[in-house]
Amino acid sequence: MEGSEFEEHGAQMLHYVTSYMDSVRSRRALPDVQPGFMQELIPSRAPETPDKWEDVFKDIERVIMPGVTHWQSPNFFAYFPTAQSYPSMLADMLCNAIGCIGFTWASCPSCTELEVVMMDWLGQLLHLPDSFLFCKPGKGGGVIQGTASEATLMCLLSARTLFFKKEREKNPDVTMGQLVDRLVAYCSDQAHSSVERAGLIGAVRMRKLETDEKGSLRGPTLKAAILEDKAKGLLPFFVCATSGTTTSCAFDNLKELGPVCQEHGVWMHVDAAYAGSAFICPEFRPLIDGVEHAMSFNFNPHKWLKIMFDCSALWVQNTDYLRYAFDVDPLYLKHENQGVMPDFRHWQIPLGRRFRSLKIWFVLRLYGQRKLQEAIRKDVRLAHEFETMVRSDDRFEIAADVILGLVCFRLKGENELSERLLKLLNADGRIHLVPSKMKGNFFLRLAICGPDTQSSDVRRAWDVIRELTDVVLKSDAK
Ligand code: PLP
């Protein structure tokens, strides 16, 4: 494709994208297709000679759209939001055009340098302690990871290496193999599955600790577990606290957990994948009071801050711990200015990395802090509106405190009623929700997800839920 054709087809694509966004509300949120549906729609082999752009373009609606779950639809209330915005799309276009792989400062200086500044901009927006920022004295700094899962894994592996280094100072003969067998990490029974996976990949025990009635991990529970494990000869080294659990948006008590971690020399990592974006609003920032005790903090701007996937922001108080845990230095990656600016290849699992800070730059500049705050507050307001509707119908109950943009609710009585309601809702397809369970209670999660979800969409969702609840309860009465 030549540049002139790209401009022409690009204009057509831009028009398609804006029309898609403008009309996404009218599409069914959940597609009505069966596994394997696409095999009948496309050939089983790649073409030998070029297809025409017109044919490819036509196939977007014919082949792709029938099986698309419309995450940006105001009728999509499942999981957590995934961010989307035009400024972020524009930045991704530029990122694709530049097409650099910024693994070291030398491999693309602007890629590294913009990331350093953007991580400070973001960190300041969240009012993170100065000790996490590049621009303040100390060894703190941030880096963009692909996902929260990678961030947790990076921190667990760094904590493991740090622990090994300290043990080696005491006993130079000790091997990693001898230690790994005795290492123990902790998270709450509400932590995301990626935390358990980090333990599996890091080959360490991950002990899930019981939370209080609100789904929050408390200091005394952690302390008791650490003391119990130490008495057994195990070596506690890492805790992953969650700020905004996936199940119910509960918050572990960082103010209590932090001092326990410090007393026992344990690395505290905070996973705020979803909730982190809300901390740009001062009224929500107290939810992470105690974060100053954390060695590392992570959230996904790609969930709720208009910066598109993939962009997961990770800060550490001492960047040496990341760097030294993964320092392999072949000649072909070395450069003359090593050590002046970060070489982010040491701070992540892959070598390659895209110019992702461009989309942070575009979004923060083209929206500004105030508009981003307004968007978060709108979603929280909508969640409370929905909560009020649920509370006004005595067939339902709220299953967890509504703190941000997630409402957990259920039909009173046996789990089976809510299970049947969810099945009907998703078969109906007008709105899409997913369930969760806490302490044996099955419930539905309604997360405000679409960038343009309005009060009328939430009211409509509630109408659909009530309509299908009548069906569930009628069939139950028979
Ligand atoms: N942690 C929490 C609390 C989450 O809610 C999620 C996903 O929703 C994750 C981690 C995993 O995020 P990612 O897909 O970025 O790995």
Instruction: Tell me if 209 sits within 8 A of 225, measured CB to CB.
Output: yes
Instruction: Tell me if 277 sits within 8 A of 249, measured CB to CB.
Output: no
> Which residue has the least CA distance to atom 6 on ligand 1?
273
What pLDDT was estimated at residue 354? 93
For ligand 1, mutation pick of 71, 194, 298 (most atoms within 8 Å of CB): 194
Ligand 1 contact, 72 CB (< 6 A) = no
Tell me the ipTM for this assembly: 0.98
Quick one: which of 159, 163, 263, 266 has its CA closest to 209?
266
Distance, in Å, from the CA atom of 342 to the CA atom of 114, rounded to the nearest integer, reads 11
For residue 151, which atom of ligand 1 is closest to its CA?
A: 16
458-463 contacts at long range (C-beta below 8 A, 24 or more positions apart): 458/382, 458/385, 458/386, 458/389, 459/385, 459/389, 460/75, 460/431, 461/75, 461/77, 461/386, 461/431, 462/386, 462/389, 462/390
For residue 149, which atom of ligand 1 is closest to its CA?
A: 16
The residues facing 208 across adjacent strands are 187
Ligand 1 contact, 251 CB (< 6 A) = no
Q: Give per-residue burial for 390-417: e unless 16+ CB within 10 Å, then b.
A: beeeeebbbbbebbbbbbbbbbeeeeeb
For residue 147, which atom of ligand 1 is closest to its CA?
A: 15
Report the separation in Å between the CA atom of 196 and the middle of ligand 1, taken as the mean of its atom positions. Answer: 12
Q: Which tokens is 314 given?
A: 């990770």
Report the separation in Å between the CA atom of 83 and the middle of ligand 1, taken as the mean of its atom positions. Answer: 13
Instruction: Tell me if 190 sits within 8 A of 438, measured CB to CB.
Output: yes
For residue 302, which atom of ligand 1 is closest to its CA?
A: 15
What pLDDT was estimated at residue 478? 64
Report the separation in Å between the CA atom of 444 and the middle of ligand 1, taken as the mean of its atom positions. Answer: 18
Ligand 1 contact, 188 CB (< 6 A) = no
Ligand 1 contact, 148 CB (< 6 A) = yes
What pLDDT was estimated at residue 324? 82
Instruction: Tell me if 322 sits within 8 A of 298, measured CB to CB.
Output: no
Ligand 1 contact, 192 CB (< 6 A) = yes
Could you please report the per-residue DSSP string of 73-107? STTB-SSS-----HHHHHHHHHHHHH----SSTTT
For residue 275, which atom of ligand 1 is closest to its CA?
A: 3
Show the low-confidence residues of the chain (pLDDT under 50): none
The residues facing 436 across adjacent strands are 443
Instruction: Tell me if 259 sits within 8 A of 294, measured CB to CB.
Output: no
For ligand 1, mutation pick of 155, 246, 251 (most atoms within 8 Å of CB): 246
Q: Phi and psi of 242, rounded to 5°? A: -115, 130
Q: Which tokens is 21 given?
A: 């966004």
Ligand 1 contact, 252 CB (< 6 A) = no
The residues facing 314 across adjacent strands are 143, 298
For residue 150, which atom of ligand 1 is closest to its CA?
A: 16
Quick one: which of 303, 376, 249 has its CA closest to 72?
303
Ligand 1 contact, 271 CB (< 6 A) = yes
Question: HEC states along 101-162?
Answer: CCCCCCCCHHHHHHHHHHHHHHHHHCCCCHHHCCCCCCCCEEEEECCHHHHHHHHHHHHHHH
Ligand 1 contact, 246 CB (< 6 A) = yes
Residue 250 vs residues 406, 408, 459: alpha-carbon distances, Å = 10, 11, 25
Report the separation in Å between the CA atom of 436 and the middle of ligand 1, taken as the mean of its atom positions. Answer: 15
What pLDDT was estimated at residue 176? 85
Instruction: For residue 387, give the amino acid letter.
Output: E
For residue 244, which atom of ligand 1 is closest to its CA?
A: 3
Cβ contacts of residue 412 below 8 Å, gap of 6+? 394, 395, 396, 397
Q: Which tokens is 213 given?
A: 């009635």
Ligand 1 contact, 73 CB (< 6 A) = no
> Which residue has the least CA distance to atom 5 on ligand 1?
246
Cβ contacts of residue 298 below 8 Å, gap of 6+? 145, 148, 151, 152, 155, 269, 270, 271, 272, 273, 276, 312, 313, 314, 315
For ligand 1, mutation pick of 271, 287, 309 (most atoms within 8 Å of CB): 271
Cβ contacts of residue 357 below 8 Å, gap of 6+? 111, 114, 115, 117, 118, 119, 144
Give the DSSP H or E segment for 316.
Answer: strand 312-316
For residue 246, which atom of ligand 1 is closest to its CA?
A: 5
For residue 274, which atom of ligand 1 is closest to its CA?
A: 5
194-199 contacts at long range (C-beta below 8 A, 24 or more positions apart): 194/147, 194/148, 194/149, 194/152, 194/153, 195/152, 195/240, 195/242, 195/271, 197/149, 197/153, 198/149, 198/152, 198/153, 198/156, 198/240, 199/156
